[in-house]
Amino acid sequence: MLTVIFFASLGVVPAGALAGAGGDLWIDAPSGTVDTGLQVMAGTSPSITGLSGGGYEVAYQGTNGDLWTYGTGESGDSGDAMMAGTSPSITALSGILYETAYQAPTGYLWFGGYAPDDTGEGMLAGTSPSVVDEGSAGWDAAFQANDNYAYEFGAPSNGAQDTGEGMLAGTSPSFIALPGGGSQIAFQANNGILYEYGSANGGPLDTGEAMMAGTSPSFVSLSSEDDEIAYQASTGILSEYGTSGAASTGQPMLAGTSPSIAAQPSGSFEIAYQASNGDLSEFASTSAVNTGHAMTAGTSPSIAALSSGGYAIAFQGPSQPVDTAPVPVTVPTPPSPVSHPGEPSRRQIKIRITAVWTWVRDHSRLGAIRLSKLPARAGVTISCRGHGCPLRTRHARERRVKRLLASVKGTVYRSGDQIYITVSAPGYISERARFTIRNGARPKAELL
C-alpha cells in the first residue's frame, strides 16, 4: 500500500516560512499583473528580457540561493548557486533561447542558460553583472571586479578587459550593444558621478551628473545611434541622460533603489522604478503612472520590451499568505499479488509519502517530500513528463535517497506536468505513484 499525505495551501508559502524568504516574483505585463507565488531571495531583484520568439524570461535568486528562471522558455531551479545578496542578469538570444550572468558563491562571474560557464573572473562581493547579446560576436557581460574597476567579459572566447575606470563600491554596471556594433557601459564611478565607457565615446565619458550613493544606472540602446540612461540622481529624483544631456523627471524614488529602462524598435522608451511611497511606477515621455502595486523595500524592478508590443516588468512584491492545513489523501491499495507455482513469492511494498505542496494558478511548488518505511536495498526513481518539467529522471538507492529527495525540494511545476515516483526493492513488487499538476487545485495523486 502507498499512502500520500499532502500539506497544502491554496496560495503561497507565508513570508518568512523559508530561510532567506523575501517577497514574491510579480509580473506586470500588457495582459495584467500577476503574483507568480514564487519567492525571491530577500534583498535581491529579478531581471527580465523579451524573447525574440515571443514572450519573456525572468531570472532571479530563489530563497534557496540558486539561480531560478520563470517565463516562456523555461521555469524552475537551475541548480546553480548564487552569491548571497546579488541579482542575476538575463538577455535574449534567438528564438526562446537566453543567456544569464551572475555572481557565484565563489565570487566569480558565471554565465548560465544557453551555455553555463565559469569565467574565473573575480567580482566584488555584493555586486551584480549585466549581460547583453552581441549577435554573431556572442554575449558580453560588464561587472565590477574585486579590484573595484569596471570590466567587460566577452563570451565565448574574447576574455576579460579591464576598462581602467574605478566604480563606487557596491554598485553595478549596465551594458548595451550598439546598433552599429560595439558596446557601451554605464556605471557610477568611484566619485559618485555617472560615467559611460565604450565604443561610442572611444573610452570614458564623465557626464558630470551626480548619482545617489549605492545605486546603479540602467542603459538602453535606441533605434538610431542614440542611447538613454535612467538613474537616481543624488537628489533622489528619477533622471535621464542621453544625447541631449541630463533631464530630471521630477519623480522621487525610494532611496537606495535603481530604475530600469527598455525601448521599442521605434525608439520610444519606458522606465520602471520604485517610487518614494514604495509602489512600482512607470515613466514614459513626460508622465508617470503609479501602478498601485507595492514593492519589497530596497529592491528594484526590471523592464523589457516585448516583440508583440508593450512592456513587461518583473519585480519583487509582497507575498500573499494564507492559512495552511494538512490534507490526507490515501491512494487505494492495489490487489494482492498472485503467486504461481514455482515462482518465489513477492510482497507488496508498504510506504508512506509525505508531500508539501503550494500552488498559485497554474504553478505548483514542491516544498518537501519524505518517504517512510523503505524496504532494505530499496531504490527510488523520480521522473517528470510535461512542458514545464525542470528535472531529468533521477535515481538513488538506500543511503542516497535523502539526497535525492532534497534535490527536488522547491521545484516548480506547471499545470499538466506529471511527476512519477517509483519505489522498488528485491523481493517486492515495485510501486509507482503519479502526481498530476492541476490549474488552481491540489495536485492529483494516483497509484499506477
- The per-residue pLDDT for 15 is 31
343, pLDDT greater than 60? no
Flag whether pLDDT at 329 surpasses 60. Answer: no
The string of DSSP codes covering 383-411 is EEESTT-----EEEEGGGHHHHHHHTTT-
What's 285's domain CATH number? 2.120.10.70
133 and 276 share one domain: yes
325 lies in some domain: no
Asked whether residue 382 is domain-assigned, the answer is yes
Band of the pLDDT at 263, cuts 50, 70, 90? very high
Same domain, 282 and 337: no
Do 260 and 395 fall within a single domain? no
Task: Mark whether 177 and 284 lie in a shared domain.
Answer: yes
Q: Do 39 and 139 belong to one domain?
A: yes
In this structure, is residue 99 part of a structural domain?
A: yes
- Taken in order 26, 28, 29, 35, the sign of the CA dihedral is positive
- Give me the percent of the chain exceeding a pLDDT of 90: 47
pTM of this structure:
0.71
Indicate if 423 and 296 belong to the same structural domain.
no
Does 305 fall in a domain?
Answer: yes
Domain boundary among 265, 285, 317: 317
Domain extent at residue 252: 17-317
Residues 373 and 268 in one domain: no
Buried (b) or exposed (e) across 183-215, using 16+ Cβ within 10 A?
bbbbbbbbeebbbbbbebeeebeebebbbbebb
pLDDT of residue 362: 67
What's the CA gap between 396 and 349, in Å, rounded?
17
Does residue 281 form part of some domain?
yes
Classify residue 369: in a domain, yes or no: yes
pLDDT over threshold 80, residue 67: yes
What's the chain's average pLDDT?
84
Same domain, 417 and 355: yes
C-beta atoms surrounding 122 within 10 Å: 17
Would you say residue 12 lies in a domain? Answer: no
pLDDT in tens, 70-79: 888 777 888 8
| Domain endpoint, select from 317, 348, 367 | 317
Residue-by-residue DSSP string for 30-80: TTEEEEEEEEEETT---EEEE-TTSSEEEEEEBTTSEEEEEESS--EEEEE
- State the amino acid at position 52 in one-letter form: S
Per residue in 392-421, pLDDT tens?
788 888 788 888 888 787 788 888 889 998
Last residue of a domain, one of 317, 340, 355: 317
Q: Do 194 and 304 sit in the same domain of this protein? A: yes
Reported as a single tens digit per residue, the pLDDT across 148-196 is 999 999 865 578 899 999 999 999 999 998 887 788 999 999 999 999 9
Q: Determine the 3-state secondary structure of 137 from DSSP.
A: helix
Cβ-contact 409, 369 below 8 angstroms: yes
Residue 7 is predicted with a pLDDT of 44
Contact of 302 with 295, CB cutoff 8 Å: no
Bridge partners (DSSP) listed for residue 272: 260, 282
Separation between Cα atoms, residue 138 and residue 131, nearest integer Å: 11
| Whole-number Å distance between alpha carbons of 240 and 219 | 10
pLDDT at 8: 41
Q: Are residues 384 and 290 in the same domain?
A: no
pLDDT band at 115 (very low <50, low <70, confident <90, very high): low
The domain total for the chain is 2
CB 151 within 8 A of CB 163: yes
* 337 & 312 share domain: no
409 and 281 co-located in one domain: no
